[in-house]
Chain A
């Protein structure tokens, strides 16, 4: 398993770097697909099949298609011509390095994090992760699910209002 972990992590991180480095938005978006696939594979090696599948279906499938649609509707050339801001890039790198070193130090001190978790049975009939997720969402966190329903209503209103066509007075 450990070999697979390193392979998939390398895939995920490599494509992640490509997302940032590519000047062409379409290549960036496709690299993001690769990165998500690596992440999904990592979930599956952890026996979390459900979240792995959802990762592919929702992010790699639906969200990425939307991204590419939007990129096609926008002007790709302006993005390619944009000059690099080296100061901002340096600052960003500094923040990333600070965070990584902090995490490295922290993980050394985190005893809970070193615990070996119990290995879940591989038999899907026994550990039924879809059922467990469903139980958690619809019983323990049912209240929160209802709140999210209202949140979606607000988001829908927002999308409709902000993207509505201009009134008659504007067209004339």
Chain B
């Protein structure tokens, strides 16, 4: 089967879900989510078993490229969307309070459809190697997020988050387009492969190319939430509905990194541009790592805490970028597959945390650290899942988060030994240690925080699908924490 059918299937699934919403009358919307979950599962299966990726990759019309790398990110997008739909189904009771009591007017059906279209955008993006396709599919993703963030429209926080995200997102898009225009002005091409050739040539206006890169970096910086473009993150994460926050932190970040990796390579492989571009990136990495980790310490709201932690994780991911296009050969996995591994691990552990958060939120209406006090007594299973998720985010050995950080540090250190960029490594070590403090604050609240026991407040209800998802994610965290090679092979 042809690889480009995959996205078409995803779009068809989205339209089918919309139709089901239209014709299902006043009955419960949860089967739309079920259709989405199983449809995406089917497409994932089709991708794994029926679409082969040849080693050197194939391309169609010069627009759509399919290789192992693209397949990896497509799988990531499908998996993230699938889990977000599971989460959204759990979240429905809270969600209804903020849209409409009336089942029919609550818009839940549309809420389940939008992530599917976003998923299609993500999949197209991972297959694109020119600036126009990247831009159009990125816009499809962002447009879906604009709506999703503002979805709980009777909640002031959600509306505020929606407005902030819309305005800053539009601004960043403007910078991105301006950067693309300058890139085209310098090189006369949209294709990134040709761009690499042209930028490495002699006849190139260096300053203009760097200006173009800086503008592109502003646009992408908003999407992956790095300092100094991180201002929107805490408010938007806090205001949006829980499943949307999870989707935002995983999918939006992955999208940004796909674009960044594609765009940064031609600039870093051009000999005359490499040095100034490196300065820019090193500054961003250090600022992001310091700001994200230090600001997270003071947070009392778990969503805000995870927002700052997501900024910090963007910093860790960026650590591998300076090694791209360098003459130094790195032993172990290359920067591309290390970043892919980290993103996949980040997806697993973040969604695990957010699944637990969703259930706790639905159960006792709280998002603050206080709501987690005594969770260890009330619901040992959920507390354990959260413990594992948080430990993995911190990077404890035997979890997938450890190997993610391990591979990135491996690259940063080897690169530093050759090029002397030790500052990145130092700041990252500082950041990783700080991380332990604020992640363990959550663990402390769960097990030593006092709080009410199950007998006093009643058990937390966990749906069957959510339980299965949590179990699978738990197993994945441990399995990949012991055998990282399985995932690493897929991304090479």
Contacts and interface: CB of A to CB of B under 8 A. Distances in A.
7 contacts: A144-B133, A147-B124, A157-B18, A161-B151, A167-B99, A168-B101, A168-B105
Contacts of B11: 150
A167 B132 contact: no
A144 to B, nearest CB: 5
Interface of B: 11, 18, 61, 63-64, 99-102, 104-107, 110-111, 113-114, 117-118, 120-121, 124, 132-133, 136-137, 139-140, 143-144, 146-147, 150-151, 153-154, 185-186, 205, 207-208, 211
Interface in A43-96: none
B356 to A, nearest CB: 28
Query: How would you classify the secondary structure of chain A's contact residues: helix, strand, loop or mixed?
Result: helix
A101 interface: no
Closest 6 pairs (CB-CB, A-B) = A167-B102, A158-B147, A167-B100, A169-B101, A167-B105, A161-B107
Contact of A147 (B101, B136, B147): B136
A106 interface: yes
Given A106-B211, A148-B136, 4 more contacts: A147-B136, A157-B110, A157-B114, A164-B105
B242 to A, nearest CB: 18
B113 A157 contact: yes
Contacts of B18: 157
Interface residues of A, number: 30
Contact of A151 (B104, B132, B136): B136
A67 to B, nearest CB: 16
Contacts, number: 93
Contacts of A105: 207
B101 A106 contact: no
Contacts of A106: 207-208, 211
Interface of A: 102, 105-106, 109-113, 141, 143-144, 147-148, 150-151, 153-155, 157-158, 160-162, 164-170
Contact of A150 (B64, B111, B117, B147): B117
Contacts of A110: 185, 205, 207-208
Contacts of A158: 114, 143-144, 146-147
Given A154-B117, A169-B101, A143 B144 contact: no
B144 A147 contact: no
Contacts of B205: 109-112
B198 to A, nearest CB: 11
B106 A167 contact: yes
Given A110-B205, A162-B147, A150 B140 contact: yes
B185 A112 contact: yes
A165 to B, nearest CB: 7
A106 B213 CA distance: 13
B107 A151 contact: no
A147 B11 CA distance: 10
Contacts of A153: 117
A166 to B, nearest CB: 6
Nearest to B4: A143
A113 B184 CA distance: 12
Contacts of A113: 185, 208
Contacts of A168: 101-102, 105
